[in-house]
């Protein structure tokens, strides 16, 4: 996770690599010890902790580290390769979703075939899934390890360890209704239409309902945080920081989501940003129709930020962004 | 009131009339609400769109069938002889004038049970192509690409071929064809078409839905045929248009020529 993604906190210990990789840890260790031959792909959700896994590879392999930014190409990698092991972070920046946008990736894969040393690469999960489907990228990496969701206890431990002051954990008021979230839908009949709020059950709240009412509010809060963030430490930290005050209730843990449906262009743009995490505005021009308005709407919904022509995914919005694009079945 | 009095004179009590009207109104409202709710559910579960939409005509048949039973059951109360007479008259009417209607209704029942196509499928029936938007007892309604509603009698299914493009699945293969001159760089043109397809916002690719680019030689030009699936069959034409537009723009920027239509030389008199 990049520090820029979560601001205003003291940096604490990262999750250990064995917890992050789960069952994949053994094969990762085998690659680092030389028992398995790479190249290796480390695949994870945005802000899920690819960084610490790659840090471990840099340390154990005494490798050269290359961090790719939006717009970087294979030349940036070639300039750093010195015949030894190399760790390349954020390889999703090697492609663009346009005609001719796979040239840098193709050149990188050609180079990969001729490198004898161990190469460890980090990939955004959504970019990896897309490239595996359309470019058979998974066939180029004999070893693939995936970042696993963290359990609630570990999320609690790591989030709280980042702060000097502990908030007070308070149980939710039983009279306070939080089981439903309201989304707006247009209902039309012939020439007449109206926007109607439709209540839908909140899965997180339903889980709380069936849980033991005597649970410690702290456990319930972090259980909810782990559920909402899908065990993603970066997202959990970002959601944690959206709350205010010295007290925290389980119902304070919520994903800020828009109550409107995204249209095709918005969902497509969001999917690209979800896969890239950070992207130049210029790279989206020509791919997304009506880019300025689309970005404006996504920014107003709190899904992305646009600063200095860089479009960034908001960490706390990842749990809302992923299902919004999955609904449209955008690859 | 005159019509009401006439019905009362026929021996139909006012309470019965009220009950009949109530049943019919309730059936209508119920059918509308159920249809609306199922359509709304479908928009949020794209994967189950087809299988949920097929419930709409089925529930309508059940609702109106129940209403008909509730209305005519107590109303007619025919004796055995009366029932026989009505059956005979009904059979004669079918034979003389309603056989097409009856065939269409039977076709509707066969459609619901055998399901050669379902609501939401893209089909070609007797030369008409479109998305099936409704299946009633008598006819199937197709929405053509030009947004025309074509009503195809269900009996047509017994006499004409039915071609189903997606067979109940939300995904559908779309074929895009582009022509280049015989001297053009076919490899580069194929790559452009391939990349145009896989970078489209509408494309859907997985192990069960692969894409392909084929080249055909037509002597004076080459046809590049791209085949890929869209996630939602309603995006068929948007995908084809997107791929065609971007491919042709890439052809133009890279100097890949597309064939021109032959120009007929003017006759000299």
Rounded (10°) angle between helices B186-198 and B236-253: 140
CB pairs under 8 A between A and B: 43
DSSP bridge pairs for A307: A310
Rounded to a whole number of angstroms, the CA Rg of chain B reads: 27
Per-residue confidence (pLDDT) for residue A81, from 0 to 100: 81
Q: Is A285 exposed, middle or buried (0-12, 13-18, 19+ CB in 10 A)?
A: exposed
**CA separation for the pair A81, A93 (Å, rounded):** 18
ipTM above 0.95, yes or no: no
d(CA B121, CA B162): 11
At B109, list the tokens: 């029942």
What are the DSSP E strand ranges found in chain A? 40-44, 64-67, 86-89, 119-124, 143-146, 168-169, 180-189, 192-201, 247-248, 278-280, 304-307, 310-313
The region that residue B120 occupies, defined by phi over 0 for left and psi between -120 and 50 for alpha, beta otherwise, is left
Give the distance, in angstroms, between the CA of residue B92 and the centroid of all CA atoms in the same chain: 34
Is A101 within 8 Å of B199 when comparing Cβ atoms? yes
Which helix (H) or strand (E) segment is B224 a member of?
strand B221-230
Contacts of B225 (CB under 8 A, 6+ apart): B175, B176, B177, B213, B214, B215, B216
B172-253 to CATH, choices 3.40.30.160, 2.40.50.140, 3.10.180.10, 3.30.70.380: 3.30.70.380
Q: Is A331 on the interface with B (CB under 8 A)?
A: yes
* Minimum distance, in Å, between the CA of residue B140 and any CA atom of chain A: 21
The C-alpha angle A195, A197, A199, rounded to 5 degrees, equals 155
Q: Could you say which residues from 40 to 59 on chain B have a Cβ atom under 8 Å away from some Cβ of chain A?
A: 40, 44, 46-47
Helix axes A217-228, A203-210, angle to 10 degrees: 150
Helix (H, G, I), strand (E, B), or coil: what is residue B27?
A: helix
- The residue behind tokens 């580069």 is B188
- Give yes or no for B195 touching A (CB within 8 A): yes
Check A331 against B204: CB less than 8 A apart.
yes
Q: What is the pLDDT along chain A (331 residues), one digit of tens a residue?
A: 343 333 334 444 567 898 899 999 999 999 999 888 779 999 999 999 999 999 999 999 999 999 999 999 999 999 888 888 999 999 999 999 999 999 999 999 999 988 889 999 999 999 999 999 999 999 999 999 999 998 888 888 888 887 777 777 877 765 555 566 555 666 665 556 666 666 666 655 665 566 555 678 888 888 888 888 888 989 988 888 877 677 777 777 776 665 678 899 999 999 999 999 999 999 999 899 999 999 999 999 999 999 999 999 999 899 989 988 988 889 8
- Please give the mean pLDDT across all residues of chain B: 84
Residues of B in Cβ contact (< 8 Å) with A187:
36
- What are the boundaries of each domain within chain B? 1-77, 78-169, 172-253
Q: Which helix (H) or strand (E) holds B230?
A: strand B221-230
Domain B78-169 CATH class label:
mainly beta
Which residue carries 């843990």 as its tokens?
A253
Ordered by where they begin, the domains of chain A are 3-146 (3.40.50.300), 152-252 (no CATH), 264-327 (1.10.10.10)
For A270, other C-beta atoms within 10 Å of its C-beta total 27
Q: What is the largest CA-CA distance in chain A?
A: 69
Is B29's Cβ below 8 Å from some Cβ in A?
A: no
A88, A104 in Cβ contact below 8 A?
no
Residue contact A101–B250, C-beta within 8 A: no
Q: Could you tell me which residues are beta bridge partners of residue A181? A: A200
In this structure, the number of other CB atoms found within 10 A of the CB of residue A151 comes to: 14
Do the Cβ atoms of A328 and B231 come within 8 Å?
Answer: yes
Nearest-CA neighbor of A91 among A228, A227, A277?
A277
Distance from CA of B1 to the nearest CA of A (A): 33
Question: What's residue B106's pLDDT?
Answer: 74
Q: What is the pLDDT of residue A9?
A: 44
Helix (H, G, I), strand (E, B) or coil at B226: strand
Return the exposure string of B54-84: e unless at least 16 CB atoms fall within 10 Å of the residue's CB, then b: bbbbebbbebbeebeebbeeeeeeeeeeeee
Query: Mutation test of the interface with chain B: which of A99, A103, A189, A193, choosing the one with the most B Cβ atoms within 10 A?
Result: A99
């Amino acid at each position: 996770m990049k520090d820029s993604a979560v601001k205003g906190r003291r940096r604490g210990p990262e999750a250990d690599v064995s917890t992050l990789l789960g069952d994949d840890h053994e094969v990762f260790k085998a690659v680092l010890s030389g028992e398995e031959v790479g190249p290796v792909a480390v695949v994870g959700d945005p802000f899920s902790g690819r960084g610490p896994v790659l840090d471990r590879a840099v340390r154990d392999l005494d490798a050269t580290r290359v961090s790719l930014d939006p717009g970087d190409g294979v030349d940036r990698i070639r300039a750093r390769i010195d015949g030894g092991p190399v760790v390349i972070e954020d390889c999703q920046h090697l492609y663009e979703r346009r005609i001719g946008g796979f040239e840098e990736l193709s050149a990188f894969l050609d180079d990969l075939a001729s490198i004898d040393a161990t190469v460890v690469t980090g990939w955004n999960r959504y970019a990896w899934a897309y490239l595996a489907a359309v470019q058979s990228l998974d066939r180029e990496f004999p070893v693939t390890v995936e970042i696993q969701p963290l359990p609630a206890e570990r999320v609690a431990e790591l989030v709280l360890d980042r702060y000097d002051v502990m908030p007070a954990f308070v149980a939710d008021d039983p009279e306070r209704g939080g089981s439903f979230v309201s989304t707006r839908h247009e209902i039309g009949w012939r020439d007449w239409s109206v926007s109607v709020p439709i209540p839908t059950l909140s899965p997180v709240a339903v889980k709380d309902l069936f849980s033991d009412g005597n649970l410690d509010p702290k456990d319930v809060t972090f259980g909810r945080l782990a559920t909402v963030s899908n065990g993603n430490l970066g997202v959990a930290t970002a959601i944690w920081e959206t709350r205010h005050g010295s007290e925290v209730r389980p119902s304070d843990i919520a994903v800020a989501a828009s109550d409107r449906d995204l249209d095709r262009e918005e969902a497509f743009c969001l999917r690209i940003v979800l896969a890239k995490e950070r992207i130049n505005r210029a790279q989206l021009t020509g791919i997304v129709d009506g880019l300025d308005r689309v970005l404006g709407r996504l920014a107003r919904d709190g899904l992305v930020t646009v600063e200095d022509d860089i479009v960034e995914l908001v960490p706390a919005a990842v749990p809302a962004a992923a299902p919004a694009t999955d609904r449209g079945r955008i690859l | 009131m005159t019509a009401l009095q006439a019905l009362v004179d026929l021996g139909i009590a006012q309470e019965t009339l009220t009950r009949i009207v109530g049943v019919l109104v309730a059936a209508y409202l119920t059918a509308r609400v159920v249809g609306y709710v199922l359509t709304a559910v479908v928009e949020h579960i794209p994967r189950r769109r087809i299988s949920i939409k097929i419930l709409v005509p089925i529930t309508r048949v059940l609702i109106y069938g129940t209403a008909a039973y509730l209305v005519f059951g107590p109303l007619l109360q025919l004796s055995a002889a009366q029932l026989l007479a009505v059956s005979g008259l009904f059979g004669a009417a079918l034979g003389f004038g309603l056989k097409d209607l009856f065939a269409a209704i039977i076709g509707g029942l066969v459609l619901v049970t055998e399901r050669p196509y379902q609501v939401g499928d893209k089909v070609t029936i007797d030369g008409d192509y479109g998305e099936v938007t409704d299946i009633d007892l008598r006819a199937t309604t197709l929405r053509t690409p030009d947004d025309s509603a074509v009503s195809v009698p269900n009996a047509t299914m017994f006499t004409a071929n039915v071609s189903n493009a997606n067979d109940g699945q939300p995904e559908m293969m779309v074929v895009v064809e582009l022509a280049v001159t015989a001297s053009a760089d076919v490899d580069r043109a194929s790559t452009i078409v391939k990349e145009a397809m896989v970078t489209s916002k509408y494309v859907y690719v997985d192990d069960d839905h692969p894409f392909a680019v084929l080249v055909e030689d037509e002597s004076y030009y080459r046809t590049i045929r791209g085949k890929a699936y869209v996630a939602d069959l309603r995006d068929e034409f948007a995908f084809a248009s997107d791929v065609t537009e971007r491919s042709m723009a890439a052809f133009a920027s890279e100097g890949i020529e597309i064939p021109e239509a032959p120009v007929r030389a003017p006759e000299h008199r």
